[in-house]
A and B are shown apart, each in its own frame.
Chain A
Amino acid sequence: GQQLNQSPQSMFIQEGEDVSMNCTSSSIFNTWLWYKQDPGEGPVLLIALYKAGELTSNGRLTAQFGITRKDSFLNISASIPSDVGIYFCAGHSGGGADGLTFGKGTHLIIQP
């Protein structure tokens, strides 16, 4: 099946620092989504991208849909303690099974 390569696997940063993570794929996706998962909870949608080249912000979060449609990145500016969690990218190709393909996640840890 399709695979998404998400990096980095984990990040240890200081409060106030900016964060950047990305996902790449060998195949094209028509939709890119970024989710955050808190411990013991299900993933929650942060940003959805539907067009190649699209750049979308949600507060301190910014995500972009790569021009090639094979990658996406998520940036978090001025990190705060509540940003701690696991961030997942997910893609949808629009064909075959209707489910999303998920990356393995980036575990963000913020040191005070």
Chain B
Amino acid sequence: NAGVTQTPKFRILKIGQSMTLQCTQDMNHNYMYWYRQDPGMGLKLIYYSVGAGITDKGEVPNGYNVSRSTTEDFPLRLELAAPSQTSVYFCASSPLRQGGNYGYTFGSGTRLTVV
């Protein structure tokens, strides 16, 4: 059981470049989330989705876009990379609205550096 799979694990971007961070889950969870983690800080919610075709902004959505065409996939798009987007990005999924009895299942993260 793979759980939540994120690719790539590492990436270096130049300012102004674009990229897509991939996230796939095989647990048939309805709810999926993108968080970013900066050094010494907790995780900040970027976007979330409650099901295929439905997405909504979290706390720090500026500079990012998402789509949810299937239950399994929830890619995060950076259109014009900026140094402020240097961070570790985590995708998570959940079977229930409030995290359920098992909380969120997180991927292992994508470490992004923008130079």
Q: Which residues of A contact B (CB under 8 A)?
A: 1, 4, 6, 30-31, 33, 35, 40-45, 48, 50, 88, 90, 92, 94, 97-105
* B59 and A97 contacting across the interface, CB-CB below 8 Å: yes
B38 to chain A: closest residue by CB: A104
Contact of A33 among B59, B103, B107 (CB under 8 A): B103
Against A, the Cβ 8 Å flags (1 = close, 0 = not) of B11-47 are: 0000000000000000000010101000011111100
Interface residues on B, range: 20 to 34
* B41 and A104 contacting across the interface, CB-CB below 8 Å: yes
26 A-B residue pairs with CB within 8 Å: A1-B59, A4-B42, A6-B42, A30-B98, A33-B103, A35-B103, A41-B108, A42-B106, A42-B108, A42-B109, A43-B104, A43-B106, A45-B103, A45-B104, A48-B103, A92-B99, A98-B48, A98-B97, A99-B33, A99-B35, A99-B45, A99-B48, A102-B43, A102-B44, A104-B40, A104-B42
A98 and B42 in contact (CB under 8 A), knowing A35-B103, A42-B90? Answer: no
Say if the beta carbon of B1 comes within 8 Å of chain A: no
Contact of A103 among B42, B58, B102, B105 (CB under 8 A): B42
Q: Which residues of A contact B90 (CB under 8 A)?
A: 42-43
